Chains A and B, each alone.
Chain A
């Protein structure tokens, strides 16, 4: 694979396809990290030089750096604060993050939850204004503070203000974790559509764990919305064994 071939990414209008730096924002527990990690893996299919930057200063418990082994095995570079996965809850930003702005490779920036997390991005705002930067907001309509169009739009305004960046697209990641099915993703489309109309932010694509959506959909929902099929990367010993759930 040559490093200058464009990575394939879902998204209408060519914007996301041409992106070099993807900034992933969202409310707490929207599935940002899962989407960010999977976007990095997807980018890696078309590029030799992909970096996942864990900029989550909010939640020290579950974070994209937990998937480090899987990412590095696939050739994705991981930049995370030295405190990730430790007993330290000092909000730290890795200095190495600047390397993605100066380099030519692709990068996915996983940003912490809500306005407090998004504020971290504002310190790099001047480096995030080019045409090759796309800012995505991950939305799960089954979460309490993004359960309807009005609250999704309000959350988008809050995140955008904190980050100091316009949001280019929504990622519909409506799910109930292990209890997800394709129906609930389809049911969320009208809500996202309404949020799109009120906020002016298009739906870039939907994202779902691959086994929760029909194989025959391939890379799009029946209405044509592009679909990022995700791999479930993080499992914990206290989770129900899916064979017995």
Chain B
């Protein structure tokens, strides 16, 4: 762990907020909802100290619209919410994509559908990675699995958003938002000023007007705009895939999992090894772009008999795993819903069943 004296004990939600401030975010707009309200609480205190703006908006829709405005003016802006609140923001997501505005949104997921409950879930994978709003667009989606990673990926999210002029979404779950772990601040988190010559900062009579918009009247121009967006998304897919792999060499079974379930699976890998089952783990850190090539390469390994995706939903990321495996090996699924977490034992039981040839669905 390195020197412990430099570490501070933080809640996941606090780490997100502090990371944003250290990454130069001075504009935060939010509306409270469990299990992420500590982000707003922390921002309300800290923005005062750093001369930033904290607004408790009148609604989630207002908050994402304020992000649109602040980002259009060149500010590093953020909003955060949990699943039902993120649903409300989807119109804003689409407009932000169309207008190519860099911003960061955090979804500390709870369980659904509807009002559902406050406990952890990953039922928003489809919404995060496949759209949610209308039109052809992508969000860059990061999936942390520890409080340290919540901190680091939130810092990185601002840089990625600025680099590609996209909405960068942190997809965490309630357990990650609420858990406490030691955090080490990185040295290089000081904000690097990004050149935003497209922002509406006032012409001062020196240049033509910048226009932030997502409306294009001429169909040819709108298609050209869409092709430009798609080229940008292709560049992100080439450059920004992040993934952690554990024990793929000689693995019998490869488990895919992100966020909290990936932590549980890491303990299962050791338990399985004790009884002679070699389990590898692929933990996507970017959910979009998905680590398709890494999963496909694992499917080519001779030792690998099958895949198992462990998620806090009814089976969402498993569809991307199946696309990547492309029929080369069986792909099984183990999921829990309603705020329940799988135990290490039940995952191990599923792995044993797969090894016996009975496995899952």
Q: Please report A residues at the B interface, Cβ cutoff 8 Å.
A: 28-29, 59-62, 86-89, 140, 142-145, 147, 175-177, 179, 181, 184, 187, 236-241, 244
Contact = CB atoms under 8 A, between A and B. Distances in A.
A236 B290 CA distance: 28
B34 A89 contact: yes
B178 A59 contact: yes
Q: Which of B174, B180, B266, B338 gathers most chain A CB within 10 Å?
A: B180
Give the 7 A-B residue pairs with the shortest CB-CB distance, closest first: A87-B117, A238-B263, A61-B178, A142-B9, A89-B34, A176-B182, A89-B118
Nearest to A174: B9
Given A181-B4, A238-B175, A87 B119 contact: yes
A181 B4 CA distance: 9
Interface stretch (B10-18, B157-165, B202-210): B10-18
Contact of A179 (B7, B34, B118): B7
A33 B1 CA distance: 26
A105 B74 CA distance: 62
Interface stretch (B57-65, B136-144, B220-228, B339-347): B339-347
A87 B118 contact: yes
Q: Which of A61, A140, A147 gathers most chain B CB within 10 Å?
A: A61
Contacts of B270: 241, 244
Q: Which of B9, B182, B261, B263 gathers most chain A CB within 10 Å?
A: B9
B44 interface: no
Contacts of A145: 45
Contacts of A177: 9, 180-182
B35 A61 contact: yes
B38 A237 contact: no
A68 to B, nearest CB: 17
Nearest to A61: B178
Contacts of A147: 8
Nearest to A116: B41
A181 B261 CA distance: 28
B304 interface: no
Contacts of B116: 87
B87 interface: no
B111 A28 contact: no
B11 A237 contact: no
B260 A238 contact: yes
B9 A87 contact: no
Given A142-B7, A144-B8, A147-B8, A62 B118 contact: no
A175 B178 contact: no
Given A29-B11, A179-B1, A240-B263, 16 more contacts: A60-B118, A61-B119, A61-B175, A89-B34, A142-B7, A142-B8, A142-B182, A143-B10, A145-B45, A179-B7, A179-B182, A181-B4, A237-B343, A238-B179, A241-B270, A244-B270
B264 interface: yes
Nearest to B119: A87
A77 B92 CA distance: 50
B305 to A, nearest CB: 25
Contacts of B266: 240
